[in-house]
Amino acid sequence: MKQRLEELFWQKFGQKPQYAVRAPGRVNLLGEHVDYNDGLVLPAAIDRATLVVFSPAQGDESRLYAADFAEEAAFTLAGLPAKTQTDASPLPDWALYPAGVMWALHAEGLNIPALHAVFASDVPRGSGLSSSASVEMAFVSAWQTLAGWNLPPMRRALLGQKAENEYVGVNCGIMDQFASACGVQDHLLLLDCRSLDWQEVALPPDLAIVVADTTVRRKLTSGEYNLRRAACEQAVQILSAPLLGIRALRDVTPQAFNQHAHLLPPEVEKRARHVVEEIDRTAKAVESLRQGDLPAFGEAMNACHASLRDLYEVSCPELDVMTRIAQSLPGCYGARLTGAGFGGCTVNLVKREQAQAFAQALAAGYQSETGLSPEIYTCQTSNGAGQA
């Protein structure tokens, strides 16, 4: 991919790009839809990434070419608040991510030189593998490289999240940008989304993480996503009458929740129950993983899927089919949808020696039930964003 981008850069800008950076997507093993509830998440950065080749530009205009869309956008700092290009036309959707990053870095008071860049990604878009965070973290790295400031990875992740929340308009938590910035090869990352403390959790070498893409993409996910978040906030507001001092669903134990759940409207109760139980489930499952109890960890993944399907209602028929088949196959400890849901990918924890047979059987079963050809692959965990 790098060579192709360098050639495109030559064609667009008549010179060789001076730098290249990459930032990975991520898969999440457990702790879904809890990052914006101050919960615990367990993602890993993966070997799918956004790659940017770039050079500093003269003047104040940044010009970006998105190879995946065969489209160019040009903008300056002055046009960012209105989300317009230099010619006053609106920024295309894909450009909101790099422009949002520039806007967030500027709001932080950082020096951000104009750049010429060509970029592409092999993280499938809208599939639950954080393509948007990988674009954001790649451009934070690009501007850091050019400007010479040096922020710690978590700080860079927070600025990427600010771009997504306040510029793109998706009220997401910190998990994706964190995983893309802080990934460690052969490890899962256990992040406490309240304190932002995190630890590496070694991935047992005889385990494979298999990602299965249903190929179904949902539109309007950001609207549904923001609605889920609003339901969680409503639950906190109502529960804070009996449970003084709670700030997020993180502060509510399953016992306390059961005691006061009757106060919540039925739909809000379902949403909040998922979050409260998922945070508890994740804390316990990480202990199982550390003790090498993979069946118990896999059970927690299966329970997470059922909860996302029945309580949080972010699954779809294709994700349910893919998960059901996977859970019935030999060597599979656990399977569930990963990321926001509504389509996209499942994550499967499989005995390494059986991973290939698992992938083949899963693809065949899914295809015969849905008529769709899925993309299934064993992913490697990777390091966080940096030089390519």
301 near ligand NG1, rule: CB under 6 A: no
Residues known to be catalytic: 176
Q: Tell me if 38 contacts ligand NG1 by CB under 6 A.
A: no
Of 176 and 213, nearer to ligand NG1 (C-beta) is 176
For ligand NG1, give the closer residue by CB, 176 or 318.
Answer: 176
Beta-bridged to residue 337, according to DSSP, are: 346
Binding mask 145-164 for ligand NG1 (x = CB under 6 A): -------------------x
Q: Which residue is nearest to ligand NG1 (CB)?
A: 339
159, 101 contact by CB (below 8 A): yes
Among 153, 160, 331, 339, binds ligand NG1 (CB under 6 A): 339
Q: How many residues bind ligand NG1 (CB under 6 A)?
A: 16
Strand order in the sheet with 71-75: 71-75, 62-66, 115-121, 43-56, 19-28, 386-387
- Site for ligand NG1 (CB under 6 A): which residue of 50, 62, 85, 132? 132
For position 374 contacting ligand NG1 by CB under 6 A, the verdict is no
Using CB under 6 A, which of 5, 13, 23, 33 touches ligand NG1?
33
Task: Give me the helix-helix angle, 175-182 and 131-147, nearest 10°.
Answer: 50
Q: Which CB atom, from 117 or from 340, has the smaller least distance to ligand NG1?
A: 340
Contacts of 205 (CB under 8 A, 6+ apart): 186, 352
How near is the Cβ of 36 to ligand NG1 at its closest, in Å? 6
- Residue 213 lies near ligand NG1 (rule: CB under 6 A): no
Taking CB under 6 A as the rule, does residue 35 contact ligand NG1?
yes
Tell me which stretch binds ligand NG1 (CB under 6 A): 129-137, 146-154, 188-196, 299-307.
129-137
Residue in 130, 134, 141, 323 binding ligand NG1, rule: CB under 6 A: 130
Q: Which stretch, 29-37, 102-110, 149-157, 264-272, contacts ligand NG1 (CB under 6 A)? A: 29-37
Nearer to ligand NG1, 289 or 345 (CB): 345
Asked if 326 is part of the footprint of ligand NG1 (rule: CB under 6 A), the reply reads: no
- Tell me the C-alpha to C-alpha distance, in Å, between residue 274 and each of 33, 173, 226, 308, 345: 9, 16, 16, 7, 20
CA atoms within 13 A on the CB side of 287: 4
Interaction between residue 50 and ligand NG1 (CB under 6 A): no
CA 237 to CA 73: how far, in whole Å? 42
Contact flag: residue 203 with ligand NG1 (CB under 6 A): no
**Which residues within the stretch 165-184 sit at the binding site for ligand NG1 (CB under 6 A)?**
170, 172-173, 175-176
Could you give the CA distance from residue 210 to residue 352 in angstroms, rounded to a whole number?
9
- C-beta closer to ligand NG1: residue 176 or 251: 176
**Exposure string for 196-232, b = 16+ CB within 10 A, e = fewer:** eebeebebeeebbbbbbbbbbeeeebbebbeebbebb
Q: Which residues contact 39 (CB under 8 A, 6 or more apart)?
A: 31, 193, 194, 249, 250, 275, 278, 279, 282
Q: Answer whether 225's CB lies under 8 Å from 170's CB.
A: yes
Candidates 95-103, 126-134, 143-151, 278-286; binding stretch for ligand NG1 (CB under 6 A): 126-134
- Which of 43, 40, 38 has its CA nearest to residue 281? 40
Q: Residue 362: which H helix or E strand, with range?
A: helix 355-370
Cβ-based neighbours of 71, under 8 Å, separated by 6 or more: 65, 92, 94
Pair 64, 117: CB distance under 8 Å = yes
| Closer residue to ligand NG1 (CB): 175 or 359 | 175
Nearer Cβ to ligand NG1 (61/122): 122
Residues that bind ligand NG1 (CB under 6 A): 32-33, 35-36, 128, 130, 132-133, 164, 170, 172-173, 175-176, 339-340
